[in-house]
Structure formats: structure tokens, C-alpha cells
Structure 1
Amino acid sequence: MVKTKLEQRLIDALEAEASARDIDIVDVELTGATKAPCVRVRLEKADGSALSLDDVCAQNCWVSAVVEDIDPVAGRYTLEVSSPGMARPLRRPRDFARFVGQTAQIGFIQTQGPDGRSRLTGLIQSANEDCVTIAPKDGEPLAVPFEAIKKATLKPSYDFGRAREGK
């Protein structure tokens, strides 16, 4: 996965603090316009389980202190601390391996994707330290090197029909 130097610096600093708190840094993202920048930090428990809203609030102080120490943006910015949510970012090889059998959407750096694609959606078949194998609906499985991936997220599926039936 390709991260900016600043995003990687934030990830490294946060991960150093998170391990002592039994927390895993899922992702760090710098977003927003120049006049309204945002530092988005997504957390979960080290065992992969979700954090409650109270848990996220309890982590906010130390996350804020680490981010402030790095001072990633000149001037004002918004800090968002949250759980990863349904469209969970996938950043590390172990994230892809954890979600084998689920659908992911991958965005590539420029046109470094297979067949010149800029985006690929498909089932995660396998992952190792170098690449992830994705099976798109429209073709054969493709091995995608992590260094070609700009952004990857789980693509949640909703089955509203079962909810209506009461199942």
C-alpha cells in the first residue's frame, strides 16, 4: 500500500503508542481541502474486535497527543478518531489475509493495475507479504502487488430481503 510520507509517519508514531494500549491502528488518512484539512485515524482492538463508541472516546486523548506532537498540518485541522466501519480500509497484507472470501474494492496508483485498470472489485482469494489475489466477477483471478495499490476497502454487502422476512 502506498501512503504519503506524512501518513506513514503518523501511522508509525500511533502504532508505537497503540500496542501498549491493546489497540490496532487500522488506517490513517489525510483528507479534505487545503482550507479544511482532516486527519482521520481508524482504530480497533488488537485482537481485531470492534471498539464501542465509549472505547473510541477513551482513545481520543492519546491519539490527539501523538498527532499534535507531529503537527501534520500548518494551522487548523479536524481530527477524526473512529472505528473502521463497514467499508473497512485494508492497509497491510495481514488485513487482506484476514478478509479472504470477502469482496474488496482496490484503487491503483495511476494505471498500474492489471490490464491498465484504475479500479478493481472482486473476491479476496489469498494474500501474502507481496501481493493479494483478487477474483473479479468479469474475469480470471489477478495477483496484485501491494506497491501498486493506492487504496483498498472492504465492499460490504447488504441483504435487506432477509431482514424483511424476519430472519
Structure 2
Amino acid sequence: MDANRISTVLEPVLAAHDLELETIEIQPAGRRTLVRVVVDGDGPEGHGPGLDDIAEATQSVSAALDESDVTGTGPYTLEVSSRGVSRPL
């Protein structure tokens, strides 16, 4: 799996949700691979994306990854999250 290829697939998907791709981390996790996608955006009232925003984006990200070949044929676990309030801007 290549983070750059995944980024190319996910950036337009996230933009449709008014979110920006911050980072992609790819780590082995036993027999699976963990794909961690961190997003950011203004969200309601400028406070970053809310849980509903993340949930909707996760469904779109999952569908986009499943439709493309960027994740290969092996099983993976997808995590989509925001940077969180404690992270520096």
C-alpha cells in the first residue's frame, strides 16, 4: 500500500465533504493493515468536523477505497478521524 496513491483517491472524496486530508498512516496490524486517515475542516461554527461529518466521510472513504485498487488485495482496517482539539494548528 502506498500513502501517495491513497491520497490521490481520497482528496476529492474528502473535498466533497468540505474536509481536507491531513495525514495517512499505514501500519501492519497482525494479518491486516491499518489505514489511518486524519482529516480537518471548518465544521459547524468553525470548530472542526463533528462526529456526523466524520461518519459520513468514513462511508465515502471506505467506498472509494473499495472501488479502487490502491489498497491491494489484502484485508485492511480503516480509521478516519480528525486532528482533535488538543493538536496544535
TM-score (norm 1): 0.44
Structure 2 counterparts to residues 141-160 of structure 1, below 5 A: none
Q: Which residue pairs with 2:75 in the alignment?
A: 76
Larger radius of gyration: 1
- For structure 2, the residue ranges without an aligned partner over 5 or more in a row are none
The number of residue pairs the alignment matches comes to 85
Residue number among 8, 23, 27 corresponding to 1:27 in the alignment: 23
- Give per-residue Cα distances to partners, 1:101-125, cap 9 Å, x unaligned: xxxxxxxxxxxxxxxxxxxxxxxxx
The equivalent of 2:51 in structure 1 is: 53
- How many Å separate the matches in 1 of 2:26 and 2:87? 17
Residue 52 of structure 1 and its aligned partner are, at CA, apart by 1.3
Deviation at 1:34, TM superposition (A): 5.1
Amino acid in the other structure paired with 2:75:
R
Determine which structure has the larger helix proportion and give its number: 2
Q: CA RMSD of the aligned region, Å?
A: 2.4
1:102-113 matches, cutoff 5 A: none
Partners of 1:20 and 1:41 lie apart in 2 by 16
Distance 1:56 1:17 in 2: 12
Indicate if the aligned counterparts of 2:14 and 2:57 stay in contact, CA closer than 8 A: no
